[in-house]
Structure 1
């Protein structure tokens, strides 16, 4: 579904991604783990068109999306839930969700999908007229995910969905990620909480200083002593 081949990405003169290659197959949950500043968010921003690779290719479905504008990439069926939620703070929950569907025309379908988002996140339905900036961190995360789902993505890019959330909320968010995946959306997940990420993923890539250093099935990585020591709090 998605094939990233040898991409190099720079911020000015600083190289953030160094020859990164990875693959996401349809129906999978693939996770990227690594320390802060390793290049995980940079990779997601490049996939969604917010950053342009200097070289290398990004192949998605039947064509190349390397260097395409973000709005063209959304049209192909990729939605990005950015780190730090980025909800439209002065707008209501419902207005945020409607914005997620701004490229879609069928009002009936949009309504149906909004009902579905409310089924996934009952808390949002209770707060649908509330101004988004007044929601808790966990509720804003739900809203950011709900807004992305409203675009009807084939591939969902999730950047640090558990960041700053209470343990119970983290568990809830991860259960919803699994449900979204079971319903047919492929997921590429960037996550600091490596234990949680590996527990729901099919496969994983470890990024260090802009390079993929290890990849394999999530269960292999979970049982690897090297990974346990570096990322899973193992001794």
Structure 2
């Protein structure tokens, strides 16, 4: 579904990604783990067009998306839930969700997707007119995920969905991620909580200083001694 081939991305003179290659197969949950500054967020921004790679190519469903504008990439079926949620705080919950469907014209199907989002995130139900900035951190994370789902993405990019959330809420968020995946959406997940990420994912990639240093099935990475020592607190 998604292939990154020898991608290098920089911020001015600073090289952030140094020739990374990875694959996300349809139907999978794939996770990128690594320390702060490893290049995980840069990878997602490069996929969604917010950054343009200096070298390499990105293909999504057989077509190159390198250099394509972000709104066009979103319309092609890639949804991005950014680090820190980035909801529009002064807009209502409903307005935020409606903005997620900005590339669509199928009103009856949009209504169905609103119902689906409320089914996935029942905590948001009945609060449609509430300003998004007044929601709790966990509720804002749910809203950001719901907003991305309103675009009907084939591939959902999730950047640090557990950041700043209590353990019980993290557990809830990740069970919803599994539910979204079971409903047919492929997921590429960036997550500092390597334990919960690898416990959820099918496949994992380990990033260090802009390079991918290891990749394997998630269950094998969970028991790898190097990964356990560096990322799992063992």
TM-score by length of 1: 0.99
What is the CA-CA distance between 1:127 and the residue it aligns to? 1.6
1:43 is the counterpart of 2:43: yes
Q: Deviations over 1:21-71 (max 9, x none)?
A: 000000000000000010000000000000000010001102100111101
Separation of aligned partners in 1, 2:183 and 2:5: 28
Partner of 2:228: 228
Q: How does 1:69-88 map to 2 (within 5 A)?
A: 69-88=69-88
Question: Could you say what secondary structure the match of 1:126 adopts?
Answer: coil
1:52 is the counterpart of 2:52: yes
Partner of 1:13: 13
Separation of aligned partners in 1, 2:189 and 2:126: 27
Q: CA RMSD in A?
A: 0.5
Q: Deviations over 1:156-176 (max 9, x none)?
A: 000000000000000000000
Separation of aligned partners in 2, 1:184 and 1:49: 23
TM-score by length of 2: 0.99
Separation of aligned partners in 2, 1:92 and 1:123: 15
Separation of aligned partners in 2, 1:144 and 1:51: 21
Q: How many residues align?
A: 234
Task: List structure 1 runs of 4+ shifted beyond 3 angstroms.
Answer: none
Q: Deviations over 1:180-208 (max 9, x none)?
A: 00000000000011000000100000000
Separation of aligned partners in 2, 1:41 and 1:102: 24
Partner of 2:123: 123
Gap runs ≥5 in structure 1: none
Partner of 2:34: 34
Separation of aligned partners in 2, 1:178 and 1:126: 24
